[in-house]
Amino acid sequence: MGFNLQEDILKYLNAVGDVDTLDIAVHFKTDHQKIIGAVNSIQALGELVSTEAVSHQKWELTEEGTVVADKGSHEARTFYAISPEGMPLKDLKVNLPDKNLHSVGFSKAMARGWICVDKSGEVPVIRQKVSSIQDIVKDHMNLIRQQRASEVEENAKQDYKKRKLVNEVILKSYILRKGNEFRTSVSKPETDLTSEMISNGSWKEKSFKSYNFDALGTPLDCGHLHPLLKVRAEFRRIFLEMGFTEMPTNNYIESSFWNFDALFQPQQHPARDAHDTFFVSDPQYTKNFPTDYLERVKCIHSNGGFGSQGYGYNWKIAEAQKNLLRTHTTAVSARMLYKLAQEGFKPVKYFSIDRVFRNETLDATHLAEFHQVEGVVADYRLTLGDLIGILAEFFKKLGMSKLQFKPAYNPYTEPSMEIFSFHDGLGKWMEVGNSGMFRPEMLRPMGIPEEVNVIAWGLSLERPTMIKYGINNIRDLVGPKVDLQMVHDSPICRLEK
């Protein structure tokens, strides 16, 4: 029965549409409470139905009202208790032994002008004053008993309430509607299709719970990657897709030799000043360099060579030995190109993404450290056209296809180009990187063959990350003020989107 009532209700709802539980109770000739119980069980199965609580006002007969409906009103019964020829008033008490009936009936019948008392004789005589009466109160009680209270005037109902013939009651019920998962069967829907269901064919009869593609899933109880790491992963993916190999960048401390001298950056260059570079005090110097290469570097700075006139100053090893926090990852590229030349040159594509340090004035977009993304391609007879082509390919993968190049200067590249990209969101051209072809003064002392050209470019990881994640102040991205909730909430990075 339990299940049947639930299914019967669902089928009824399916047939008639939105329906009040009170009407359901009438339809199934069942107690309303039972219907409510069945609806609760249906709701426990999921969103088969939805309910809306409603209240109804209703009139009910009291016990006395029921007597009136059956036997007539007090006043009518008083009227009929009087014999047509009249009778002594005291006999009325005999005919109407009920005290309440007697007193209420007498006064109401008098008020209606149905009866009168004749006091002209020896004893008061009570008489019917009209030949017939219509007992409206009884009629009304019957209407109310048949749930037709709306046909009875409001004033009259209030009057009957005062006479304690009727009670006003508030009934609570529910409007039942079909829910998102409406069905007329109450068997629990399956959540999994098993091999057994397939082999015995029972899947055909079963109902299956539909997938909730909006479900958020359980929050992962684990660490979360910082936006810089997410963007780094994207850059790494792009480089790997383009066939690049990652360079080992695991040394924040570098000698001036590899950071500057190998890159043909003169020893008087302002970038080598303590105002721009963090020098290391302990250990202050690196002493160990490939001797003959060091000689060639010294020579190219002081006297020139390989068709270059050099800078013509007195190159000092003491300056090259100074340790520092590397100011760019191009120091790593220099080490790698030197190594490549020693091993016997072959064309390569290298990249690196790691931290560099500069003694900068700190502001909303600059810290004393940031991450550099660097790409290096070494091959025979590369041209500036190759550099532009590779940059176009690389930045297209980052979602930047409108590029412009502006001549620039680096001590180690010639020609050099700053790279600008039009940012659709911000509606302006933005500098996105720096690039160039490494100078022969850098490559030839290493032993890179003469027909080989090396093109390279670099950009910061922070700038695209800030744009991508809408962060305006670098301190919100790096450092002690970073909101860990931001790290937790930041979405995965898809650079081309």
User: Binding of ligand PHE at residue 256 (CB under 6 A)?
Assistant: no
Residue nearer to ligand PHE on the CB measure, 137 or 263: 263
Nearest to 12 by CA among 46, 33, 42: 42
Residue nearer to ligand PHE on the CB measure, 239 or 457: 457
List of residues 6+ apart from 487 with CB closer than 8 A: 224, 225, 226, 227
Residue nearer to ligand PHE on the CB measure, 345 or 457: 457
Least distance to ligand PHE, CB of residue 355, Å? 13
Q: Report the site for ligand PHE in 219-238 (rule: CB under 6 A).
A: none
Residue nearer to ligand PHE on the CB measure, 125 or 478: 478
Q: Report the site for ligand PHE in 422-481 (rule: CB under 6 A).
A: 434-436, 456-458
User: Binding of ligand PHE at residue 265 (CB under 6 A)?
Assistant: no
Binding mask 299-328 for ligand PHE (x = CB under 6 A): -----------------------------x
Q: Figure out which of the listed residues 78, 330, 352, 465 binds ligand PHE, where binding follows CB under 6 A.
A: 330
Report CA-CA distances (Å) from 85 to 88, 125, 314: 10, 10, 153
Assigned token pair, 201:
């064919």
Residue nearer to ligand PHE on the CB measure, 182 or 405: 405
- Determine the size of the site formed for ligand PHE (CB under 6 A): 11
Least distance to ligand PHE, CB of residue 259, Å? 10
Residue nearer to ligand PHE on the CB measure, 310 or 436: 436
Least distance to ligand PHE, CB of residue 271, Å? 9
Q: Fill in the amino acid letter for 454.
A: V
Residue 249's Cβ-side half-sphere holds a number of Cα atoms within 13 Å equal to 23
Question: Are residues 24 and 35 in contact, defined by beta-carbon separation less than 8 angstroms?
Answer: yes
Residue nearer to ligand PHE on the CB measure, 64 or 354: 354
Q: Report the site for ligand PHE in 355-384 (rule: CB under 6 A).
A: 374
User: Binding of ligand PHE at residue 277 (CB under 6 A)?
Assistant: no
User: Binding of ligand PHE at residue 264 (CB under 6 A)?
Assistant: no
Question: Are residues 253 and 324 in contact, defined by beta-carbon separation less than 8 angstroms?
Answer: yes
Nearest residue to the partner ligand PHE, using Cβ: 458
For the stretch 345-349, contacts whose Cβ atoms lie closer than 8 Å and that sit 24 or more positions apart, written own/partner, are 345/378, 345/447, 345/448, 345/449, 345/452, 347/377, 347/378, 347/379, 347/380, 348/245, 348/376, 348/377, 348/378, 348/379, 349/242, 349/243, 349/244, 349/245, 349/375, 349/376, 349/377, 349/378
Range 316-326 burial, b when 16+ CB lie within 10 A, else e:
eeeebbbbbbb
Distance of CA 322 to the CA centre of its chain: 52
Least distance to ligand PHE, CB of residue 291, Å? 26
Which residues of the chain form contacts with ligand PHE (CB under 6 A)? 328, 330, 374, 410, 413, 434-436, 456-458
